[in-house]
């Protein structure tokens, strides 16, 4: 098992991992009419816009996990709108009114990248997404992926990073707590809990 930089040949594997872990760590493929929208929000834009901050866990044949993110969330959100959304937005038009279905909710997220920029997160400008297929969890790979990401954003000058996780995902919360992430007080977070970690992350060394 090795951690290495993302390569273009990993795209299909990353696509698959994102969908198979998007329901609080479980398979979300049956929850959407077109689950392909999930990696278009939470995976592919990072590989496209921030390839230097995209890393995969390779089992010797293909990627089985990844960590992706941005060193500056505000800059990333602006680039998402200007550079990424024109590439995929037409395939997933925004809902005409209040989102009702899961697909409409995801389309809304796709078309509102500014939602990522919250004043309460200013002290933790970097953010990440990490996903591992079930058979590769609880073996230290997640910790190693996050350490790799923290080293990369630290080299870019980030002083802290945050993660937004589904509050219902209790296993993820235990994982982040063990790494030293702490809750951030965000007004009206909805079904999401925001956690922050100073950079460098001495708690995980």
Share of the chain above pLDDT 90, in %: 82
Confidence check: pLDDT of 202 > 80: no
Could you state, in order of their start, the residue ranges of all structural domains in the chain? 2-204
Residue range 63-74, pLDDT digits in tens:
999 999 999 999
Side-chain-facing half-sphere of 72: CA atoms under 13 Å = 7
pLDDT, position 200: 75
Q: Residue 205: is its pLDDT beyond 50?
A: no
Which pLDDT tens digit goes with each residue over 11-50? 999 999 999 999 888 899 999 999 999 999 999 999 999 9
How would DSSP label each residue in the chain? -EEEE--GGGHHHHHHHHHHTTBTTB--TTS-S-TTHHHHHHTHHHHHH-GGG-EEEE-SSSEEEEEEEES-HHHHHHHIIIIIHHHHGGGSPPPSSS--SHHHHHHHHHT-GGGG--GGGTT--EEEEEEE-GGG-SSSHHHHHHHHHHHHHHHTT--EEEEEEETT-HHHHHHHHHTT-EE---SS-TTEEEEEEESS-GGG-
* Whole-angstrom Cα Rg for the chain: 16
User: Would you tell me which CATH number, out of the four given (3.40.630.30, 3.30.930.10, 3.90.45.10, 1.10.20.10), belongs to the domain 2-204?
Assistant: 3.40.630.30
* Contact indicator for 102, 16 with CB cutoff of 8 Å: no
What pLDDT, on a 0 to 100 scale, did the predictor assign at position 201?
Answer: 59
Q: Is the pLDDT of residue 53 over 80?
A: yes
For residue range 129-163, list pLDDT tens digits in order. 999 999 898 889 999 999 999 999 999 999 999 99
pTM recorded for the entire structure = 0.92
With 90 as the cut, is the pLDDT of residue 111 above it? yes
């Amino acid at each position: 098992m090795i951690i290495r930089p993302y390569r273009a040949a990993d795209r299909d594997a990353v696509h698959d991992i994102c969908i198979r872990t998007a329901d609080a760590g479980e398979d979300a493929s049956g929850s959407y009419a077109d689950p392909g929208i999930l990696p278009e929000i939470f995976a592919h834009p990072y590989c496209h816009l921030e390839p230097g901050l995209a890393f995969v866990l390779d089992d010797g044949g293909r990627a089985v996990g990844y960590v992706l993110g941005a060193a500056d969330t505000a800059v990333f959100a602006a680039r998402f709108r200007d550079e990424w959304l024109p590439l995929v937005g037409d395939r997933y038009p925004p809902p005409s009114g209040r989102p009702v279905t899961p697909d409409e909710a995801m389309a809304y997220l796709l078309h509102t990248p500014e939602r990522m920029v919250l004043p309460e997160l200013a002290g933790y400008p970097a953010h990440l997404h990490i996903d591992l297929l079930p058979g590769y969890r609880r073996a230290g790979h997640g910790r190693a992926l996050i350490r790799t990401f923290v080293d990369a954003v630290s080299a870019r000058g980030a002083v802290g990073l945050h993660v937004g996780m589904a509050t219902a995902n209790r296993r993820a919360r235990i994982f982040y707590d063990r790494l030293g992430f702490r809750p951030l007080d965000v007004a009206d977070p909805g079904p999401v809990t925001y956690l922050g970690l100073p950079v460098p992350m001495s708690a995980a060394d």
